[in-house]
């Protein structure tokens, strides 16, 4: 694969945005915003999913050092349940953009949906994390930040294997939910978690077991 595209709109100062963790059953969704120098080149930067954990860590350090500005923000599982994952992802992107110490003149977003941020023009790029340098850089920072956060949660709830699955619906994670129930970090509106919550709510209502929610403390 060749080098990814740099600036897309002439000399406008562009901020690339991407998120990590949309499809997880537990933990926040993280988003990053990155403004790279107009002439920046780094042929090692790729979509974070195409890199190893070690490569992501190394590149994240380079991106933080080289970027004109960068920021990472998140929306937790309660926010995700309250507003849905798409809105929560965009909310996290807005927070990251708002924390940049350099104001971009154009926002580039991976995917096809975005809510305008302030009065800054934006462009949605499907597959942007595979074609646009600043979006790929944002995908790396978001992924590294979220993975680090999930490793911290793993220390609190090691039975769910979040050090390996990072909250995604792997067979091991699903089995752990069935065995141990839900934690305060699970997304209660997501399929298996919602089904588990409904199941125990029905059992509580029928008084077939002591009143409980099976949500761990």
Q: Does 3.30.420.10 match the CATH number of domain 14-155?
A: yes
> Residue ranges of the domains in the chain?
14-155, 158-205
139 neighbors 146 (Cβ within 8 angstroms): no
pLDDT of the chain, 217 residues: tens digit per residue? 445 666 655 678 999 999 999 999 999 999 999 999 988 999 999 999 999 999 999 999 999 999 999 999 999 999 999 999 999 999 999 999 999 999 999 999 999 999 999 999 999 999 999 999 999 999 999 999 999 999 999 999 999 999 999 999 999 999 999 999 999 999 999 988 998 877 656 555 555 444 334 445 4
165 neighbors 184 (Cβ within 8 angstroms): no
Q: Would you say the C-alpha torsion 40, 43, 46, 52 has a positive or negative sign?
A: negative
Closest CA to 192 of 163, 160, 164: 160
Q: In angstroms, rounded to a whole number, what is the distance separating the alpha carbons of residues 72 and 97?
A: 9
pTM: 0.89
């Amino acid at each position: 694969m060749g080098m990814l595209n740099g600036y897309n709109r002439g000399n406008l100062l562009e901020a690339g945005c991407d998120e990590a963790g949309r499809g997880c059953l537990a933990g926040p969704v993280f988003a990053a915003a990155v403004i790279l120098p107009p002439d920046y080149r780094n042929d090692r930067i790729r979509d974070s999913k195409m890199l190893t954990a070690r490569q992501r860590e190394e590149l994240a350090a380079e991106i933080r050092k080289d970027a004109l500005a960068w920021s990472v923000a998140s929306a937790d599982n309660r926010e995700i349940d309250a507003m849905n994952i798409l809105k929560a992802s965009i909310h996290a992107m807005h927070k990251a953009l708002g924390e940049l110490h350099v104001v971009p003149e154009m926002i580039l977003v991976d995917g096809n949906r975005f809510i305008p941020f302030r009065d800054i023009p934006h462009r949605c790029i499907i597959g942007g994390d595979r074609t646009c340098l600043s979006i790929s850089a944002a995908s790396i920072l978001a992924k590294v930040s979220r993975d680090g956060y999930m490793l911290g949660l793993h220390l609190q709830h090691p039975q769910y294997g979040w050090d390996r699955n990072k909250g995604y619906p792997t067979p091991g994670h699903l089995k752990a939910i069935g065995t141990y129930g839900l934690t305060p970090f699970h997304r209660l509106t997501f399929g298996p978690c919602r089904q588990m919550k409904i199941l125990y709510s029905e059992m509580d209502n029928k008084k077939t077991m002591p009143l409980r929610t099976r949500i761990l403390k």
